[in-house]
Amino acid sequence: MAVPNEVYALLREFDKEYGNHWERIPETDERLLKVRLLLEPDYVTKRKNRVGRGNRKILW
């Protein structure tokens, strides 16, 4: 899974705003929530016709 360019742009914003103190970023910051959503892995199953059943794995 490739990291979207939008994530890099948001991380640069955090770096400019917070510097080396990323622990100060509020958990409710919309940009942080967007980064988490963009980096969330997709779940796939072994066969497409068996949605929700079978072995699930994370596609990174």
Between 40 and 54, the more confident residue is 40
Rounded to 5°, the CA angle 9-10-13 comes to 90
Contact predicate 39/3, CB 8 Å: yes
User: For 15-49, how does the pLDDT look when each residue is reduced to its tens digit (9 = 90+)?
Assistant: 999 999 989 999 999 999 999 999 987 766 555 55
For residue 51, pLDDT over 60 is answered with: no
pLDDT given at position 22: 87
CA separation for the pair 11, 48 (Å, rounded): 35
For residue 6, pLDDT over 70 is answered with: yes
Q: Confirm whether pTM is higher than 0.85.
A: no
